[in-house]
Chain A
Amino acid sequence: MSTCADQIKTTELKAKDYKSDTKPVWCPGCGDFGVLNAITKALAALQLPREDVAFVSGIGCSSRIPAYSAVYGFHGVHGRALPVASGLAVSRPDLTVLAAGGDGDGFSIGGNHFMHACRRNVNLTYLVMDNAVYGMTKGQASPTTESDWAGSKLTPEGPGLAQFQPLEIALSAGAPYIARCFSGDPNGLAQRLTEALAFPGFAFIQVLSPCVTYRPEQKEYKKLVHPGFEPTADRREAFMQLMDDDGFTTGVLYKADIPAYQPDRAEPSDLDTIARQFRVGEHGPKPVTNPYYPCSEAGCAVDPPVPED
């Protein structure tokens, strides 16, 4: 990751330098505008060169965000931002990788990736613009929607399901950095983001980001949110804080020093040396990868377990 120190040579970048000239498709008043502002502020605060930042997303109103910023972007398919971001971050540790999307994208279709990204702990920042609704498909319930919200034609009596708890799940799954912010407070969010982007591991930020079109009542979020989380590295304490959470507490909940994902290393070699393993004459037992030579027993009588699926 580039640090501020690397950048002294360039002229100082302002938040607006990180904005592209593509006009957002968002509805006027959508919370996602605040998130975009916060992101550009955080990038400016870190003075990250634009070309060294990559912004990955899935599909949804919120997932349109990479195109609105002037960094490298990848706008993929629904629910798959985290794998794309992980592959990129693992293969290009020199980049600052930011993934973003909605609650539907991240917790519903992408729910499995969310859990595993928390476990995998690749060095990237994941920001979910949570409006408890599917904005882009015009207002269906999402995993974070209240169980009695009857505003969708698809679930006219409310989804009737327990609400997905992003912070609890992130904590259970092993994410080392967990925070909640509000899009109506771009400065606060920018501050958290600055910290998250510099954090050496998987940093997850849930951003309460109102959908003024399908959940107009969310305009009240600004009255509901309140600071309260005290950063801790103690999981038990973090869970305790969540037990008292009304869903609108903001701040860093958990921050732990857990080593980020490291790909396997090996002694450097070259293609010819690698190919030599196939030469007859030198071909020998390769217990790990050769399916025919398990030889765990003297006398070589044991065949390997036969794979099924």
Chain B
Amino acid sequence: MQANSLSLALIGSGGTGVMTAGQILLDAAAQAGWYGLMTRSFGPQIRGGEAAAILRLAHHPIQGQDDHLDLFLALDWGNIERFAAELPLAEHSTVIADPAQGDVPQVIARTGARQAMVPLKEVTKSVKGGRANMVALGLVAELIGLPRAALMQTLNKVLGRKGEDVLQTAEACLQAGAEQAKAVDTSLALEAKPTPEGEQPERWALTGNEAAGLGALRGGVRFSAAYPITPSTDIVEWLAPELPKLGGCLVQAEDELSAINMCLGASFGGTPSITATSGPGLALMIETLGLAVASETPVVVVDVMRGGPSTGIPTKSEQSDLNIALYGLHGDAPHLVVAPNSITDCLAATQWSVHLAEALQTPALVLSDQAMGQARAIVDKPIPMDWKAERRTADKPGEDYLRYRITDDGVSPMAIPGTVGGVYTADGLEHAERGTPSSQADHHQGQLDKRLHKLTGYDYGEYWADIEGEGELAVITWGSSTGPVREALDRARAEGITARLISVRLLSPVQPEAMAEALRGVSRALVVEQTHGGQFHHYLRAHYDLPATVQAFHHPGPLAIRPGEVLEQLRQLAQQEAA
């Protein structure tokens, strides 16, 4: 079978090395000039337990995982029941397993997938010091037609430092695995593609969390404070060694309350700052986000969403922090909420958020999620953006300097400590223009107006949403749900269903005019999100004029939104009469 893309999963107990094998496969695919995406799936155990590396490879950039796996290789069956739902199999799928690990479990067999038995353990034994994950890697690479040279090049990098012996053992494993390919009745090679001539465009391999980290640096962030929480920690782990290279620093805080307040302190001092967290941490930061609003101190918080509420499902994705991000702050507290909609976009959206937060002197929340944050992709080199932190500062404040002066655009020049003549006290208490605390009605009204106006009056440009295609049907979505929606729209087009995509990036402040424009001529809309209660749907209903017919499609994590299920919804919508 020649396929447009290949989806495969490698599973095994923690320690068998399936993640490492998956990663090598992804990197080798990149070496071979392919594109790819790798998602990790695992339970909450610290070590051991079952883990799955889920990959999708293609000759074109990939948006998200496919409906079904083409290939499923199990080193053992561990706690497969916990994962089965996330590893969808169909009749065209091939399951490879080692008979030595026992029968194929019912949850897998029931799917009707083809089965192929390969004695992985035995084969591994034939190589002195061999590892089953490397044998599996050799087998899979052979089955999908991945050039051996690319694989060896990658292995060289990964294992090179460990010496010739290790490398030779690994190569022997790959060879032994590849020889088993004949026994597997499937042909999964990717569609043939002519080798590109001349210079290949630059490709990057990165996770959404790394992308967010780079976006922060490009935006001008030079200070970070954080408290670890899955799945956001990778961002700050990536930033910690990089910030000092640019003259900045990162402090590990004692908790999230401290992290966000440290960021505010640094920002008050003139240093653009960022912190990263996930649901429970965001909940703790909320009071201080209000302080950032009131004191007009820029700060960026990347919330990498996971299943909630409470401690929820730390290792798996969901989009259910939307409500707290939009509405969690007490009082009337206008602020920015920006959602990247792909791994690459984690870079640009974070960079943009730094720029906006600084320009508007307010907090910006970046709503990423585990599915983007912890997935690693091979992408085209992201187009560099020139958004930077450009804070309006008061460089020569006069006698009459008013920190919170009500200006035409609501942004007032900020005196940075060290600036002669600019001394003022930043305050979370309501204040007069000078900053002095006030409970006077007119001061409150004036400052509330100012803080709202600076956000609503700003021109966010086209980047507020990705709007693609046309037609009477529209799919409105956001964040990582955008990938599967885009793919569903492609497939729908092939069936003659045309629809437009509206992927909202700027969630707050709302953009009623831009949305009205985006929805012009639309009679029916489908709203797609990964939540249980339809938070995005309710948000849209509260703030926008939607077409008369709106179909909401949402389910919670950890099951990903699949292109096929979105397509099914689109088909239904296409059949409905316009109301």
Contact = CB atoms under 8 A, between A and B. Distances in A.
7 contacts: A56-B265, A72-B415, A77-B290, A263-B250, A283-B27, A306-B47, A308-B46
A74 B262 contact: no
B254 A291 contact: no
Nearest to B27: A283
B397 to A, nearest CB: 10
Given A51-B420, A83-B261, A113-B254, A74 B238 contact: no
Contacts of B218: 271
A268 to B, nearest CB: 6
Given A91-B269, A308-B45, 6 more contacts: A275-B214, A279-B381, A280-B204, A301-B15, A301-B134, A303-B19
B426 A308 contact: no
Interface stretch (A63-71, A229-237, A252-260): A63-71
B45 A306 contact: yes
B158 interface: yes
Contact of A289 (B30, B241, B374): B241
B376 interface: yes
Nearest to B53: A292
Interface string A202-246: 000000000000000000000000000000000000000000000
Interface string B39-52: 01011111101010
Nearest to A57: B425
A11 interface: no
A79 B381 CA distance: 45
Given A22-B436, A67-B437, A92-B269, A291 B251 contact: no
B245 A268 contact: yes
Interface in B301-333: 311, 314-315
Interface in A84-119: 84-92, 94-95, 112-113, 115-116
Size category of the A interface is 35 or more
Given A67-B437, A298-B162, A86 B265 contact: yes
A54 B376 contact: no
A80 B261 contact: yes
A67 B230 contact: no
Contacts of B19: 292, 303-304
Interface string A169-196: 0000000000000000000000000000
Nearest to A99: B265
Contacts of A264: 240-241, 244, 249-250
Contacts of A263: 244, 249-251
A278 to B, nearest CB: 4
A67 B233 contact: no
A279 B202 contact: yes
A25 B49 CA distance: 60
A151 interface: no
B425 A74 contact: yes
Contacts of A266: 241, 244-245
A113 B242 CA distance: 26
Interface stretch (B427-435, B453-461, B534-542): B427-435
B278 to A, nearest CB: 9
Given A264-B249, A281-B31, A300-B159, A307 B204 contact: no
Interface of B: 14-24, 27, 30-31, 40, 42-47, 49, 51, 129-134, 157-159, 162, 165-166, 169-170, 173, 202-206, 210, 214, 217-218, 222-223, 225, 229-231, 233-234, 237-238, 240-242, 244-251, 253-255, 257-271, 273, 280, 287-288, 290-291, 295, 311, 314-315, 374, 376, 378, 381, 415, 417-429, 435-437
Interface string A275-306: 10011110111001101111100111111111
Contacts of B264: 74, 76, 84, 87
A308 B306 CA distance: 11
A52 interface: yes
A20 to B, nearest CB: 8
Nearest to B30: A280
A284 B314 contact: no
A6 interface: no
A75 interface: yes
A274 interface: yes
Contacts of B435: 67
Contacts of B424: 72-73
Given A265-B244, A299-B166, A303-B51, A280 B203 contact: yes
A295 B246 CA distance: 29
B23 A87 contact: no
A116 B258 contact: yes
Contacts of A91: 222-223, 248-249, 265-266, 269, 271, 273
A137 interface: no
B183 to A, nearest CB: 23
Contacts of A305: 46-47
A84 B428 CA distance: 13
Nearest to A274: B242
A307 B158 contact: no
Contacts of B131: 299-301
A51 B270 CA distance: 13
A177 B298 CA distance: 33
A75 B427 contact: yes
B418 to A, nearest CB: 6
A294 B24 CA distance: 12
Contacts of A301: 15-17, 20, 131-134
A115 B46 CA distance: 29
Contacts of B376: 292
Contacts of B15: 301-303
A283 B381 CA distance: 13
Given A87-B264, A271-B217, A289-B241, A112 B205 contact: no
A67 B429 CA distance: 11
B425 A66 contact: yes
Most buried by A among B20, B240, B253, B428: B20
